[in-house]
Structure 1
Amino acid sequence: MTDFSSTMIREYLLGHQREFFFWGFGTGVVIISFLLAWLFSLMLRVECFRWTHYPVRFDRKNRRVHVFSTDGDIYSAPWDEIFFTTGDCVSYKLTRRKHYDIRGHVLAEDRKTVLRTFTLPVSASRREELYANWEFVRRYMEEGPEAVAHVLKLMPPVEGRREGIFFGYWYLMLSAAYGAPLFLVPFLMALYLTAWPFRLFAMYSCKIPRWSAEVEAQCVIAPDDPWDISAVHNPRPLWRWMLGLDMAHSMVDKKRAMTAVEKAGGSAQ
């Protein structure tokens, strides 16, 4: 297409070819090419060349919520002054189907004007499916980690780094194959293998979000915190859990087991 356009311009300048069809067709190709390139760049910017994810940190001790916004701005708001609700995140006009998410509105002093809005990283086709996710957050902030830690099964390994290459594939599989009939799993594995390279491109073209020094200072975790659960405590091997073959895993139990081993090793020395 580039060669065609350059040839068209050269032929025009030399006066060799100026037929209406030639120029009409060529001009149309150039315009369509620019429009497609512009549209492709917009679509690419939705997932690529931005941030790997947009974390929201619930600071229970200080009763604040810290947000890393889509434009890279970091702000905080008091937990008790945020109005949480559900909203429509995706609408399918042809089928009249919707997807819903959980949103937090930071309000002005009049308690009516919305200053900022952020969303939690969960969506569902029915509002009722979001209630369990909201209850997890609410109970953590109101009752403490001991009230909800037992339901944690997996932590995305993205804190301060990009997700692993193979984790990206298994995470795609989890979104499609978790709970699916066993006979469909091989087909889904092959299907999502084709989407895997695009996820890798998006992940490695984006920057890693970093909290500000002020936020980090407010959220220091004590070395002996029994509820400091991270991706280190994820099930091994991960693929067995993703396929539903290892449902007995508990991150809290693994954390305690690892702590016991470390203490035993220290005592032996």
Structure 2
Amino acid sequence: MSKYTRAYDGWLTRYKINRPLSRSEFEGRLDVKDSISLPPIDSGLIKINSVFVECIERWFFQRGWAALGGVPAAAIWVYFLILFGSKIYTPPQGESIASLAHIIAGWYATMLCLLLVVAIFFFALAKDFFCYTHYPIRFNRINRKVYLFRHNKKNGVMTLDWDKVHWCVGRGRDVGHYIYELRGHVLDDDGIVRYTFAVGQYCESHAGILQHWEALRLYMEESPAALPYPPLALSISTRPTFRNCMLLVISWFDGYQSIKMFLFSMLYGFFRWLALSTCREPRWPSEVEAECQIPINDPYQRTAPMNVGEYPDFDEEDKRQQNEYVAFARAAAAAYEEHGSQSRAPEA
């Protein structure tokens, strides 16, 4: 098996499962007891308190891509579907009646277009439309459980033991460059991979994911007090408002750099908003919420922002300290990447 995953594995396509761990995955396991020699910095926290933290799934920031490519493609084939379907029994020009061959060809073209529309919907549009705004992953430090939200139906939440998940840094290819993600493998008693998931936003460096891992590891193994700025700051909003969709996409693409990039960001942001507007908020089942009761006046509970980029609990001094820490953490990650480290795990 290749140590590189495909660009959209885990979302539009599936991770490869029912297989043994690769050598790099086995050797690159991240031990929950071993600290990382990098300052922690989270990559996608949306809730935090003294009982649990909650993260976005790997593909939250990419939502809207399927809509951007799938809606125009589906519209084209719907046009041809209507065009061919409306002329099945219409005689060709110069003839008084449609021949059997004409009717069969019309039905064939119509059904082919219909199949293409259905395929585009199920393999692309259904991943963006009429599902959930996000698929949260919750880490409970009290009972040492990890909850994976998949849907609101029966058995829609997968509950895992924090200590038993095989954590590693996953590596994939995306448009000419490598990307990294914090990946968890669920293994059976024989060490066969039965399920794979990824936590938080991807990074373009191995060190960035190690920092993300260290933030989660410190929270689960020690306490919220072990986390400095910015892990105790929430700036990601999952509310599917038009403003949030535009702010997130423009900042992600650096849309103010050029007029072309700005216009593309606006287009992508529109399709992201269009898709997420049809989605519903995820709801944890009552049994999960019962296991994640937050104490009254919890000093570590943070307020989720209404809009992307806001810090509801921060004053100007907090923001200054946060900016300093982010610059320090990024510089440490850049130095780690440049000079390497003996403690760096093999890439999985």
TM over 0.5: yes
Q: In the alignment, residue 119 of structure 2 is paired with which amino acid?
A: L
- Mapped to 2, the partners of 1:129 and 1:236 lie a distance apart of 20
TM-score by length of 1: 0.71
Secondary structure at 2:236 match in 1:
coil
- Mapped to 1, the partners of 2:161 and 2:284 lie a distance apart of 17
Partner of 1:80: 163
Q: Within 5 Å, give how 1:137-216 maps onto structure 2.
A: 137-152=216-231, 153-158=233-238, 162-177=239-254, 184=257, 188-216=261-289
Cα distance change on mapping 1:15 and 1:190 into 2, 3 Å: closer
Partner of 1:16: 97
Pair 1:7-2:80 in alignment? no
- Mapped to 1, the partners of 2:306 and 2:249 lie a distance apart of 20
Displacement of 1:236 = 7.8
**Larger RCO (CA within 8 A; separation ≥ 6):** 2
Cα distance change on mapping 1:156 and 1:65 into 2, 3 Å: same
Cα distance change on mapping 1:232 and 1:41 into 2, 3 Å: closer
- Mapped to 2, the partners of 1:250 and 1:65 lie a distance apart of 28
Q: Which structure 2 residue ranges, 5 or more long, are not aligned?
A: 1-79, 312-317, 324-348
Displacement of 1:99 = 2.9
Displacement of 1:226 = 1.1
Q: Within 5 Å, give how 1:1-269 maps onto structure 2.
A: 1=80, 2-11=82-91, 16-18=97-99, 26=106, 29-42=109-122, 43-69=124-150, 73-88=156-171, 95=176, 97-108=177-188, 110=189, 112-152=191-231, 153-158=233-238, 162-177=239-254, 184=257, 188-232=261-305, 248=320, 250=322
Cα distance change on mapping 1:143 and 1:234 into 2, 3 Å: farther
Deviates more, 1:70-79 or 1:163-172: 70-79
Displacement of 1:250 = 4.9
Deviations 1:24-62 (A, max 9, x none): 874564254224312321310121111111101110122
Secondary structure at 2:257 match in 1:
helix
RMSD (Å) for aligned C-alpha atoms: 3.4
Deviations 1:221-249 (A, max 9, x none): 112111101224979868xxxxxxx9637
Cα distance change on mapping 1:62 and 1:39 into 2, 3 Å: same
- Native 8 Å contact 1:149 1:227 kept in 2: no
- Native 8 Å contact 2:146 2:160 kept in 1: yes
- Native 8 Å contact 2:234 2:305 kept in 1: no
Cα distance change on mapping 1:4 and 1:235 into 2, 3 Å: closer
Deviates more, 1:208-217 or 1:114-123: 114-123
Secondary structure at 2:235 match in 1:
coil
Q: In the alignment, residue 78 of structure 1 is paired with which amino acid?
A: D
Cα distance change on mapping 1:47 and 1:234 into 2, 3 Å: closer
- Mapped to 1, the partners of 2:216 and 2:258 lie a distance apart of 32
- Native 8 Å contact 1:107 1:113 kept in 2: yes
Displacement of 1:213 = 0.9
Q: In the alignment, residue 140 of structure 1 is paired with which amino acid?
A: Y
Name which one, 1 or 2, has greater alpha-carbon Rg: 1
Displacement of 1:77 = 1.6
Between the two proteins, the alignment pairs up a number of residues equal to 231
Deviations 1:56-111 (A, max 9, x none): 1110122111111368610212211111012345555xx4x443322112333x36
- Native 8 Å contact 2:165 2:184 kept in 1: yes
Q: Whose helix proportion is higher, 1 or 2?
A: 1
Q: In the alignment, residue 163 of structure 2 is paired with which amino acid?
A: D
- Native 8 Å contact 1:154 1:231 kept in 2: yes
- Mapped to 2, the partners of 1:24 and 1:106 lie a distance apart of 50
- Native 8 Å contact 1:168 1:196 kept in 2: yes
Q: In the alignment, residue 56 of structure 1 is paired with which amino acid?
A: I
Q: In the alignment, residue 99 of structure 1 is paired with which amino acid?
A: I
Displacement of 1:121 = 2.3
